[in-house]
Amino acid sequence: MKKIGANGFTLIEVMITVAIVAILATVALPWYKRYVDTTRRSEAWIPLTALTAQQEKFFTQCGGYADTIGAARVCPAVQGGAGGVIAASTVELNPGGATRTGNYQIVITPGPTGTLASSYTLTAGPIAGSPQFATDNLKCTTIAIDSTGVKSATGSDALLGPNGGKCWKK
């Protein structure tokens, strides 16, 4: 025997379903945004670690560490002197040190000894105006590694543990 009447959902059933989806979205969206921010930090970690290896290679070939990220590798005129350039293409960066997606800027500064002839510090920071700057600048203001392998960071997430806290991938 066939039932007479309309098939489908009632308005109440649809409204309950929409309410459940809205609650789930409210809970999930902040977690997703946090995950995306943390994942974008890999745009800093990967070039920093690659640049560390390139700096050591540069040191063995040129007698000192590079102070610039440029279009091509150039040893300084005097071995161990200032003015060395690491090729940006070897570390997936744009000349000048910006990441390919434009979220981070990486700079080379003298390290623990105070001179590029014997040490360096690589520091990545979010570029002003980038999506990473807007959402993550106060959490991980800078992410750094030096020639001795010490990882560090500044910002509120950096205080949550040793070696840069949550700013460096664990």
In this structure, are residues 26 and 61 in contact, taking their beta carbons and an 8 Å threshold? no
Residue 5 is predicted with a pLDDT of 62
Rounded Cα gap, residues 161 and 139, in angstroms: 13
Rounded Cα gap, residues 20 and 26, in angstroms: 10
Residue tagged 């040129």 (tokens): 62
Strand pairing partners for 153?
A: 143
Residue type, 131: P
Residue 78 is predicted with a pLDDT of 76
The SS3 call for residue 123 is strand
Q: What is the pLDDT of residues 50-108, one digit of tens each?
A: 999 999 998 888 888 888 888 888 888 777 666 788 888 888 888 888 998 889 999 99
Mean pLDDT for 106-127 is: 90
CA dihedral angle for residue 68, residue 95, residue 152, residue 167, rounded to 10 degrees: 180
Tokens of 138: 């106060």
- The residue with greater pLDDT, 129 or 163, is 129
Rounded Cα gap, residues 5 and 55, in angstroms: 77
Mean pLDDT for 121-130 is: 92
Is pLDDT of 155 > 90? no
Residue 139 is predicted with a pLDDT of 85
Going by their DSSP bridges, the two strands 85-87 and 68-70 should be labelled as: parallel
Is pLDDT of 161 > 80? no
Q: What is the pLDDT of residues 22-53, one digit of tens each?
A: 999 999 998 888 888 888 888 888 899 999 99
Rounded Cα gap, residues 84 and 82, in angstroms: 6
Selection from 66-70, 97-101, 121-125, 163-167 with the highest mean pLDDT: 121-125
Residue 156 is predicted with a pLDDT of 85
Q: What is the pLDDT of residues 1-28, one digit of tens each?
A: 566 666 788 899 999 999 999 999 999 9
